[in-house]
């Protein structure tokens, strides 16, 4: 049964196929109600939420024929969820199609490979300056250590590109690790410059540099949603 803050959704089709899921957050419950109806083609649904005590539960029922009219539901939270079900039955949506493929791979992978490959190319152009002593990836640590860390960073980018292109499971883990390294590097590189350039300027550069890790997580999120779509259909 659902715990405090959770919502239990039990749905069924006219063919007698049942499905059951628990939603952990109240804010996402209406979206989950609508999504479950669409993905599973449900014709009726029972919605269960915790009551005032640990042994009390509140239940509401909705079905396609009555379009889940929430007029008779006294609990506001249940009424909102029944209303979400009614809206989905009255305004059915087409199921999302398969993710667009580029070069035989999902397009987020291709976007990641192109962006990371471009970044790797620009970083490789810094190697002559690094060897001549005109550049340091992390200025506040010894130059030799910074060079070793920079080389490891380049290898991480290369390994991530190869693994993502092969669609290996390690590629997604490496992409997450790479985004964390990028976010940490921006802090290590820009924060010591606050006394020189001012807080506002440095905050701008940090936020801008974090757009690259954010892009990685956005593409990984799209791939995860596509995986959920495939497993639920």
Co-location of 193 and 226 in the same domain? yes
Cα 54 to Cα 124: distance, rounded to the nearest angstrom: 61
Cα 8 to Cα 58: distance, rounded to the nearest angstrom: 10
Co-location of 156 and 57 in the same domain? no
Beta bridge partners of 63: 44
Co-location of 84 and 172 in the same domain? no
pTM: 0.63
DSSP 104-158: TEEHHHHHHHHHHHHHHHHHHTTHHHHHHTS--SSTTS-HHHHHHHHHHHHHHHH
Q: Which range marks the domain in which residue 73 is found?
A: 7-90
Tell me, yes or no, whether 95 lies in a domain. Answer: no
Cα 9 to Cα 180: distance, rounded to the nearest angstrom: 36
Co-location of 13 and 110 in the same domain? no
**What Å distances lie between residue 173 and 13, 73, 164, 204, CA to CA?**
38, 45, 10, 28
Co-location of 76 and 106 in the same domain? no
Tell me, yes or no, whether 146 lies in a domain. Answer: yes
Co-location of 141 and 64 in the same domain? no
Co-location of 134 and 70 in the same domain? no
Structural domain ending residue among the three candidates 60, 90, 120: 90
Structural domain ending residue among the three candidates 90, 111, 141: 90
**What Å distances lie between residue 43 and 13, 16, 40, 68, 97, CA to CA?**
5, 10, 9, 10, 22
Contact at 8 Å (CB) between 90 and 67?
yes
Co-location of 12 and 58 in the same domain? yes
Co-location of 146 and 78 in the same domain? no
Q: What total of structural domains would you count in the chain?
A: 2
Co-location of 26 and 61 in the same domain? yes
Per-residue pLDDT of the chain (233 residues; tens, 9 = 90+): 778 888 899 999 988 888 888 888 788 888 888 888 888 888 999 999 888 777 788 898 888 887 656 666 788 888 889 888 888 888 877 666 678 899 999 999 999 999 999 999 999 999 999 888 888 888 888 988 999 999 999 999 999 999 999 999 899 999 999 999 999 999 999 999 899 889 999 999 999 999 999 999 999 998 887 877 666 55
Co-location of 119 and 68 in the same domain? no
Co-location of 106 and 208 in the same domain? yes
The CB density around residue 110, as the number of other CB atoms within 10 Å, is: 18
Closest by Cα among 215, 217, 218, 119 to 176: 217
SS3 content of the chain, % helix, strand, coil (to 5): 60, 15, 25
Tell me, yes or no, whether 169 lies in a domain. Answer: yes
Structural domain ending residue among the three candidates 69, 90, 111: 90
């Amino acid at each position: 049964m659902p715990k405090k803050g959770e919502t239990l959704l039990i749905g069924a089709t006219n063919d007698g196929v049942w499905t059951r899921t628990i939603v952990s957050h109240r804010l996402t419950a209406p979206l989950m109600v609508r999504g479950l109806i669409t993905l599973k083609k449900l014709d009726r649904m029972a919605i269960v939420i915790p009551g005032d005590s640990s042994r009390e539960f509140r239940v509401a029922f909705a079905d396609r024929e009555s379009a889940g009219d929430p007029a008779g539901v006294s609990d506001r939270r249940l009424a909102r969820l029944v209303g979400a079900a009614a809206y989905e039955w009255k305004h059915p949506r087409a199921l999302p199609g398969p993710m667009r493929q580029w070069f035989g791979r999902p397009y987020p992978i291709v976007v990641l490979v192109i962006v990371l490959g471009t970044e790797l190319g620009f970083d490789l152009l810094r190697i002559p300056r690094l060897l001549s002593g005109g550049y340091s990836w992390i200025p506040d640590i010894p130059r030799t250590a910074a060079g070793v860390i920079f080389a490891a960073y380049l290898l991480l980018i290369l390994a991530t590109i190869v693994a993502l292109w092969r669609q290996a499971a390690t590629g997604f883990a490496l992409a997450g690790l790479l985004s964390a390294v990028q976010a940490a590097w921006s802090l290590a590189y820009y924060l010591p410059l606050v006394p020189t350039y001012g807080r506002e300027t440095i905050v701008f550069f940090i936020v801008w540099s974090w757009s690259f890790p954010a892009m990685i997580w956005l593409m990984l999120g799209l791939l995860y949603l596509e995986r959920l779509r495939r497993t639920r259909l």
